[in-house]
Amino acid sequence: MTGQVAEYFRQGGIFMYPLLFFSVLAATVAIERFIVFSKAKINVNEFLTKIRKALLVNRNVKEAIKVSRSAIWLSRSATAAAISRKCPSTASGS
């Protein structure tokens, strides 16, 4: 079986090396993301309620950013959303 795979790899020529590299890279990223997301325990409803309260009720972007940083894996997207709320021209595209 291993000899057959090696033969296919050899027959594929030079194009097989980038394919192999990016396949290993994709598998590594997928495993890393699985580990990160499996460790991230967050109550999404509570998190979104705090963000909504900070942005919509209090109109406090700094508070929303502080709340968003409490959830490590959501931090970047939630912070970006809070900042785009502060700058409507970037959010609406106008």
Please give the structure tokens belonging to residue 28. 């590594």
Write down the pLDDT at residue 29.
94
Write down the pLDDT at residue 93.
44
Write down the pLDDT at residue 26.
97
Written as one letter, the residue type at 53 is K
Please give the structure tokens belonging to residue 50. 């705090």
pLDDT along the chain (94 residues), means of 10: 87 94 96 80 75 76 73 59 53 43
Write down the pLDDT at residue 50.
80
Write down the pLDDT at residue 94.
41
Residue-by-residue DSSP string for 47-80: HHHHHHIIIIIS--HHHHHHHHTTSGGGHHHHHH
Write down the pLDDT at residue 65.
74
